[in-house]
Amino acid sequence: MTTPEDLALSAIVNSHKIDPGDAHAVSALDPDNPPWGVWTALLTWSASVALIFIVPNLCVVPYIAYRYQGTRGLNEHVLMADRTLVLIFVSASLPTHLLTLVIVWAVITKLGRFSFRDAVGWRWSSDFGLLKSVGLGIFLFLAAWLAVGMFGAKPTDLDQIVQSSRAAALMIAFLAVATAPLVEETIYRGLLFPAMQRVTGRLSAVVIVASMFAALHIWQYRQSISIILSISLLSLVLTLVRARTGRLLPCFVIHLVYNGIQSVLIVLDPYLRALLQSWQHDAAPGMLTCLIRPFV
């Protein structure tokens, strides 16, 4: 049975008059007609989600076994109060992201047969360049800040991690710019969207992919409706940009700017607190909470 993936591969080979066995023959691909199918995309996405849960937990098992050997009454509150454990858990996101990128690269490029850049549209659109991407990233951050100001922001699980230690906060800030935007944009807007669009149509694909991205973050931010709304808006805008431009690079830059502002504020947190507290003693912590809320 011929699959959409087979048809896409055949079209690429025929249109470029290449030898299918040539490992570097394809140099120009259509990001909206990728050489992978929707089931391959969904399976890869499922693997990426599984890694998010499996790898960090595997990394903390040796520490827990050593540190809490024979301890009774061990629960989530006890573990979350352990700064070393929290740091190990957060740091495990780095190998998780790197492993995910390797898997996604293998799927998108067919183990190097195709150009990653061409397959996902890693270039600027003629009418959507760097300035628009940076501006939209800043606008989305301001919209998120406004949502927090309007609806309030209850402490979330991520807040607890950021506040557990300075090392954990800095690791979160690092991951938010170094790996998270690239991993998430490659999976959702680079891999899932074009395959889904080919099966369901553009509008349905926008709704499905944006919802999948937002849903994955809902549990993480379940305590705060304002953050959930902000993440949902971010996801929708990023997917719409991908649908309109046919390019992944603008989405990556928007996401990078959005996370980057949060990361800068996390890094500057102690200094901002000291500065604000010198101006408004009781109001400073509340103001700062709205400022440095991490949307990663």
pLDDT digits (tens, 9 = 90+) for 176-234: 999 999 999 999 999 999 999 999 999 999 999 999 999 998 888 888 888 899 999 99
Give me the domain span that covers residue 227.
4-292
Our measurement of the distance from residue 207's CA atom to the centroid of its chain's CA atoms, rounded to an integer in Å, reads 17
pLDDT at 69: 84
pLDDT over 90 for what percent of the chain? Answer: 60
pLDDT at 235: 96
Among the ranges given (73-82, 118-127, 263-272), the one the predictor scored with the smallest mean pLDDT: 73-82
pLDDT higher at 229 or 29: 229
Q: What is the pLDDT of residues 114-153, one digit of tens each?
A: 999 999 999 999 899 999 999 999 999 999 988 888 887 7
pLDDT higher at 25 or 163: 163
User: Secondary structure of the chain: what % helix, strand, coil (to 5)?
Assistant: 75, 0, 25
Contacts of residue 76, defined as CB under 8 A and 6 or more positions apart, other chains included, come to none
- Write out the two tokens for 32: 């909206």
Is the Cβ–Cβ distance between 293 and 200 less than 8 Å? Answer: no
- pLDDT (average), residues 155-168: 85
Q: Which amino acid is at 32?
A: D
Query: What are φ and ψ of residue 33, in 5° steps?
Result: -135, 70
Is the Cβ–Cβ distance between 223 and 154 less than 8 Å? Answer: yes
pLDDT at 5: 52
Say if residue 274's pLDDT is above 80: no
Say if residue 7's pLDDT is above 80: no
What total of structural domains would you count in the chain? 1
User: 123: alpha, beta or left, given left = phi > 0 and alpha = psi -120 to 50?
Assistant: beta
pLDDT at 280: 61
Residue 26 DSSP code:
B
Residue 283: which pLDDT band, with cuts at 50, 70 and 90?
Answer: very low
Is the Cβ–Cβ distance between 289 and 169 less than 8 Å? Answer: no
Q: Which amino acid is at 116?
A: F
Nearest CA to 142 among 234, 207, 245, 223?
Answer: 234
pLDDT at 3: 53
Nearest CA to 90 among 128, 68, 63, 70?
Answer: 63
Say if residue 110's pLDDT is above 90: yes
54, 144, 155, 173, 263 from 292: Cα distances, Å: 28, 11, 12, 11, 8
